[in-house]
Every structure is written in C-alpha cells, then in structure tokens.
A and B are shown apart, each in its own frame.
Chain A
Amino acid sequence: DVKVTQSSRYLVKRTGEKVFLECVQDMDHENMFWYRQDPGLGLRLIYFSYDVKMKEKGDIPEGYSVSREKKERFSLILESASTNQTSMYLCASSSGQGASPLHFGNGTRLTVT
C-alpha cells in the first residue's frame, strides 16, 4: 500500500512566522502535489513536482513555495504566514506512469493566529 505521511496533523502558528509542512511518500512516486482544502471550495492545487528539484505552480501558489531535494520528500513553505492561510493542507503523490491516481496523506490542519 502507498503511504504518504505528513509530519504534523495539527499546527498553530502566528502571523508572520515561517512555516514548513513536510510530506514523505514511500512508493518511489515521481509526482508529488500540495493542495489546500477549504469548506465550499474543494481542493485547490498550490504546487506540484514531477521530479527532484523540479516544481510547477498550481492554481493558488501566491504566498507559498516548495522544495523537493529528494524524490520521496516534498515540502511546502509559507514564507510569512497569514490568517487567510488557515486551512487543511493535503499532500499527494502519484506514479509517473500514465494516468495514475493520487494517493493522499492524512492532512495537516494549520491555524494561523
């Protein structure tokens, strides 16, 4: 079974702090994704990566950056957290083979006060 692990289930940070959300997958997947999930808005793609050291902007990249130094790890960085970044963050991975489904982690509930 694919396992996608997000390092924190719950985080509380203050406005202006730099925040790191970590995600690790154990299936040697090429593709990794970061989404945020908000009520009524569904899942929105922030950033994704198809390979090590490679990143692409999703639909809502503003205020975020990412890092993929190793194939199994994809980090989401909030350079200066703001209250409108309070959300559920979901990491996902998929194989690079054709139409491969996404496998999600359990999510990180981030609150910015």
Chain B
Amino acid sequence: GQQLNQSPQSMFIQEGEDVSMNCTSSSIFNTWLWYKQDPGEGPVLLIALYKAGELTSNGRLTAQFGITRKDSFLNISASIPSDVGIYFCAGQNSNTGNQFYFGTGTSLTVIP
C-alpha cells in the first residue's frame, strides 16, 4: 500500500519553540488528517482537513491542506512538555476508496 513521506522523522526542541512538520504524497488526496499518539496509546485525531488550501487550527496547532492536494503541514506553536509524542499524517482519496494511507510519523521531544 501507499505510504506517505513524513518529515522530519524526529525532532528535539526546547520548550517554547515552534514546530513544523509535513507530509507528502505521490497522489492527490481529498482528505488529510493529523493524529498524535502518546506512548502505549492509540492515535488521537487532532485536525481534519477537507479542502485544498484549507487552514485549520486547534489551540496551538495549525494544519494546512496543500494546494497541490499532495501535501499537508502541521505547526505547533509555543511547544510545551505535554506535546511530546508521535505525530502522524493520514490521507484519503474517497473517489478511489475509503482507505487511509499513513505517514511513518514524526517523534517530538520537548526539552523543558
């Protein structure tokens, strides 16, 4: 199955810094999702995007649906220790099926 390219693979940042990560695909999607997974837990949905160019925020998190429909971006502003975890992107093209394809994740460590 298709796998999305997610970068960076890992990040180590100081508390208070901003974070950016992105996801790219070789094919177009009409839905992009961003999830966060804490150790030993299942992924939790952060933001859902349904339209090219869409910019959506959830607290300190902002995600964008790229205008090419082949990429998406997640930004976290003013990071705090509880932002630690693995962030996943997922994309779907509902015109070709209901399957979601996932990135390999970005592991975020926040140093207090």
Residues of A within 8 A of B (CB): 4, 6, 9, 31, 40-45, 48, 50, 58-59, 90, 94, 98-99, 101-107, 109
A42 to B103, CA, bound (A): 6
16 sampled A-B residue pairs with Cβ under 8 A: A42-B3, A42-B105, A43-B102, A90-B42, A94-B98, A99-B50, A101-B31, A101-B33, A101-B45, A102-B45, A102-B90, A102-B100, A104-B42, A104-B43, A106-B42, A107-B42
Q: Which 7 A-B residue pairings sit nearest by Cβ, starting from the closest?
A: A59-B1, A104-B42, A99-B31, A42-B104, A43-B102, A106-B42, A107-B42
A109 nearest in chain B by CB position: B40
Q: Which of A42, A45, A102, A107 contacts B41 (CB 8 A)?
A: A107
Q: Tally inter-chain residue pairs, CB-CB below 8 A.
A: 54
- Residues on B with C-beta less than 8 A from A104 are 35, 42-44
User: In the complex the two chains form, is A101's CB within 8 Å of B48's CB?
Assistant: yes
Residues of B within 8 A of A (CB): 1, 3, 30-31, 33, 35, 40-45, 48, 50, 88, 90, 92, 94, 98-100, 102-105
A6 to B41, CA, bound (A): 11
User: In the complex the two chains form, is A41's CB within 8 Å of B48's CB?
Assistant: no
Nearest CB of chain A from residue B59's CB, rounded to whole Å? 17
- Residues on A with C-beta less than 8 A from B94 are 98-99
A30 nearest in chain B by CB position: B98
- Residues on A with C-beta less than 8 A from B50 are 99
A4 to B41, CA, bound (A): 12
- Residues on A with C-beta less than 8 A from B45 are 101-103
Nearest CB of chain B from residue A86's CB, rounded to whole Å? 15
- Residues on A with C-beta less than 8 A from B43 are 43, 90, 104
A43 to B6, CA, bound (A): 13
User: In the complex the two chains form, is B98's CB within 8 Å of A50's CB?
Assistant: yes
Given A42-B104, A102-B90, A105-B42, A31 contacting B98 (CB threshold 8 A) = yes
- Residues on A with C-beta less than 8 A from B41 are 106-107
Extra 10 A-B pairs, beta carbons < 8 Å, given A90-B43, A94-B98: A4-B42, A42-B3, A42-B88, A45-B99, A48-B99, A58-B1, A90-B42, A98-B94, A101-B33, A101-B45
